[in-house]
Chains A and B, each alone.
Chain A
Amino acid sequence: MLENEPIKRLLSAIAFTNDQAAYKELFLLLHGRLKQFAYSILKSQEEAEELVSDLFVKVWEKRDQLTTIDSPLLYFYATAKNLAFNRLNKQKRQQNIRPEEWLVQLNSIYFDPEQLMMTEEMMRQIRQAVNNLPPRCRLIFKLVKEDGLKYKEVAELLQLSIKTIEAQMAIALRRIGKYMHMEVNQLSPDANNVKKS
């Protein structure tokens, strides 16, 4: 999981010694996630790629100012969000699209079931459960699980309350847990037999 501390260390190395290896490491650490995040708003791989590059140009140019940031991870995601909105604005495309309209994809649901000692069927159901989450819920789940943001950071990024994040996370996990026969007894007695051929 991504955390702020290693990012802070890299940012310091970049600012104080112009450390190019650290700059590269930071890029490799964040590029994929930020690109996917930008893509969810821009819905174009090319533009998302460019946006991340723009963002890292900023990181290099403003390297002196980035060492005092408390939560660099939030800084990166918030900047990516702003850059994406600016782009949409410029192109006179939709402005400030709501998180409900973002195109959110989770990567970590594409796993090898054997690796996690699960059956194919269970994996399929987990995927379906995640993909069927309401868009905002799925976004929050991704930001916490895959991008490593804290509840507080997600709340700030999406302008929501921490309580909302808490509730949405609980909903996401409950829906996935359902497919692990958690609620077998509470569900209808034939829940176990609901299988498509």
Chain B
Amino acid sequence: MSQELFWVLFSKKLSGEASAEEMGLLENLIQQHPEWQYAIQNLEDLWKYQPYKDFVQEEDAYMLHLHRMAELNIPFGEVAIEAEIPAKERNRLVTKWYWAAAAVIALVGLFAFGGLFNDEPERNPIAQQVNEITTRPGSKSKVQLPDGSVVWLNAGSKLTYNKDFGKEIREVTLTGEGFFDVAKNKEKPFVINTATISIKVLGTAFNVKAYPDDKQTEASLIRGSIEVTIRSRPNDKIILSPSEKLVVENNVPKADVREMRTGYIERTSLPVISTLISVNKLKYSPVDSTLAETQWVNNKLVFRNESFTELAVRMERWYDVAIDITDESIAEERLNGIFETETISQALDALKETIPFQYEKTGNKIIIHR
């Protein structure tokens, strides 16, 4: 009998349900049975033990949730950046991204002969209106396109689309890095043009990294499927499956890049270079099963086995600074880590723990030396 009572009282105690009277009763019981002490101690430890909580995964879930709220058109948060946007364009922009306070979005109407498209007059004989969204270094932004697709733009990036977006196809041009969640529409394929590659999709989520000063262009597919065409090899189509990443070397001379952007590619005029292309499996973190490629959307700068040189380029965009690494052996060090709330100085100090270096910071300029 005393044992049954013990278990009721003991579980009440653990659950915080026991009254003072019950606690007294329990104490008495335990005193009469010192041999129970071992089990009591273990059960109390077990009770206190809380399962490991994967915060990164929870953050991902939150991001998906916000995205869903946007899709359902549920107003969330304050409107921060209305002033520069013409009223009729307003509904195209999702202005509720809570961390995007620093983002600067400029939606500019440009005319073909004056601006962007003056290198392809034949294709656009009529003045064409272009919407342009840019993010400065150090800021990010989230945009909703007229078809409901959502694009996260990383720092120092530009997304443009014509006024006739969505009439026949949904076509955008990207410089820099963007995470695309494309609304499904089988009738109207979604096409993303970058300097090196062109990506055609029907409805899916993926990340594209195409900074002009990077050595490589990358496309990482999260779900769905996408079809990639390399501009220097227009006849080869590469179909990516989920969790695959395409990396293309950007070793095309500048003059040709412009020519390709216009869509007039003559194969004979191409320099004889073998474009290096590789398709790799995306590596999910063994710890929290996240992807380094898309963590910037969660406001995290994640680097896995990156050289300091590569990381410095990303930090330049992330923090809007210029970094000069004067020592070659330091530049080649490989690094792993995450920056989230750190300031640039805190980030550098953290790196100093791993690699011994000194740095001087004057304004936005940082010099790193041994």
Binding site for B on A (CB under 8 A): 1, 18, 20-21, 24, 27-28, 31-32, 35, 49-50, 52-53, 56-57, 60-61, 107-108, 110-111, 115-118, 122, 126, 144-146, 150-151, 166-167, 169-174, 176-177, 180-183, 185-186
Q: Interface size (B, Cβ < 8 Å)?
A: 42
Contact A57 B74 (CB under 8 A): yes
Closest Cβ of chain B to A56, distance in Å, is 6
Contact B12 A166 (CB under 8 A): yes
Determine whether B46 belongs to the interface, using a CB cutoff of 8 Å to chain A. Answer: yes
Contact B62 A185 (CB under 8 A): no
Interface residue stretch chosen among B36-44, B280-288, B315-323: B36-44
Contact A170 B42 (CB under 8 A): no
Nearest first, the 4 A-B pairs at minimum CB distance are A107-B51, A180-B39, A182-B39, A170-B7
C-alpha gap A18/B43 in the complex (Å)? 42
Contact B43 A180 (CB under 8 A): yes
Contact A172 B11 (CB under 8 A): yes
Interface residue stretch chosen among B63-71, B126-134, B207-215, B327-335: B63-71
C-alpha gap A50/B68 in the complex (Å)? 9
* Interface secondary structure of B, over-half rule: helix
C-alpha gap A90/B200 in the complex (Å)? 36
Determine whether B77 belongs to the interface, using a CB cutoff of 8 Å to chain A. Answer: yes
- Which residue on B lies nearest to A172, using beta carbons? B11
* Contacts beyond the supplied A146-B51, A151-B12, A183-B3: 5 A-B pairs with Cβ under 8 Å: A31-B61, A53-B65, A145-B47, A173-B11, A174-B7
Contact B58 A28 (CB under 8 A): yes
**Contact check: which of B8, B39, B53, B69 meets A57 at CB < 8 Å?**
B69
Neighbouring A residues of B98 by C-beta, 8 Å: 20-21, 24
Contact A60 B76 (CB under 8 A): yes
- Which residue on A lies nearest to B45, using beta carbons? A116
Q: A144-B15, A185-B35 are in contact. Are A20 and B42 (CB under 8 A)?
A: no
- Which residue on B lies nearest to A130, using beta carbons? B46
Contact B15 A56 (CB under 8 A): no
Closest Cβ of chain A to B69, distance in Å, is 6
Contact B17 A150 (CB under 8 A): yes
Closest Cβ of chain B to A179, distance in Å, is 9
Neighbouring A residues of B62 by C-beta, 8 Å: 24, 27-28, 31
Neighbouring B residues of A166 by C-beta, 8 Å: 8, 11-12
Q: Could you list some 15 contacts between A and B, CB below 8 A?
A: A1-B50, A18-B78, A53-B68, A118-B45, A145-B15, A146-B51, A150-B16, A151-B12, A169-B8, A169-B12, A170-B10, A172-B11, A173-B10, A173-B11, A174-B3
Neighbouring B residues of A169 by C-beta, 8 Å: 8, 11-12, 15
Determine whether B59 belongs to the interface, using a CB cutoff of 8 Å to chain A. Answer: yes
- Which residue on B lies nearest to A175, using beta carbons? B7
Contact B77 A57 (CB under 8 A): no
Q: Which of B278-305 contact A (CB under 8 A)?
A: none
- Which residue on B lies nearest to A151, using beta carbons? B17
Contact B65 A108 (CB under 8 A): no
**Contact check: which of B17, B45, B74 meets A61 at CB < 8 Å?**
B74
Determine whether B264 belongs to the interface, using a CB cutoff of 8 Å to chain A. Answer: no
**Contact check: which of A18, A53, A61, A174 meets B64 at CB < 8 Å?**
A53
Neighbouring A residues of B51 by C-beta, 8 Å: 107-108, 110-111, 146
C-alpha gap A167/B46 in the complex (Å)? 20
Neighbouring B residues of A35 by C-beta, 8 Å: 61
Determine whether B273 belongs to the interface, using a CB cutoff of 8 Å to chain A. Answer: no
Contact A20 B77 (CB under 8 A): yes
Contact A117 B49 (CB under 8 A): no
Neighbouring A residues of B45 by C-beta, 8 Å: 116-118
Closest Cβ of chain B to A76, distance in Å, is 15
Closest Cβ of chain B to A50, distance in Å, is 8
Determine whether B14 belongs to the interface, using a CB cutoff of 8 Å to chain A. Answer: yes
Neighbouring B residues of A183 by C-beta, 8 Å: 3
Contact B42 A116 (CB under 8 A): yes
**Contact check: which of B43, B49, B61 meets A173 at CB < 8 Å?**
B43
Contact A49 B39 (CB under 8 A): no
Name which of A111, A118, A177 has the most chain B CB atoms within 10 A of its CB: A177
Contact B76 A20 (CB under 8 A): yes
Determine whether B4 belongs to the interface, using a CB cutoff of 8 Å to chain A. Answer: yes
Contact A32 B53 (CB under 8 A): yes
C-alpha gap A35/B57 in the complex (Å)? 12
Neighbouring A residues of B72 by C-beta, 8 Å: 57
C-alpha gap A183/B39 in the complex (Å)? 9
- Which residue on A lies nearest to B51, using beta carbons? A107
- Which residue on B lies nearest to A146, using beta carbons? B51
- Which residue on B lies nearest to A29, using beta carbons? B58
Neighbouring B residues of A49 by C-beta, 8 Å: 61, 64
- Which residue on A lies nearest to B72, using beta carbons? A57
Contact B65 A177 (CB under 8 A): no
Contact A176 B15 (CB under 8 A): no
Name which of A146, A170, A185 has the most chain B CB atoms within 10 A of its CB: A170
Name which of A21, A35, A116, A186 has the most chain B CB atoms within 10 A of its CB: A116
Closest Cβ of chain B to A31, distance in Å, is 5
Contact A27 B43 (CB under 8 A): no
Q: A28-B59, A181-B39 are in contact. Are A60 and B7 (CB under 8 A)?
A: no
C-alpha gap A190/B249 in the complex (Å)? 70
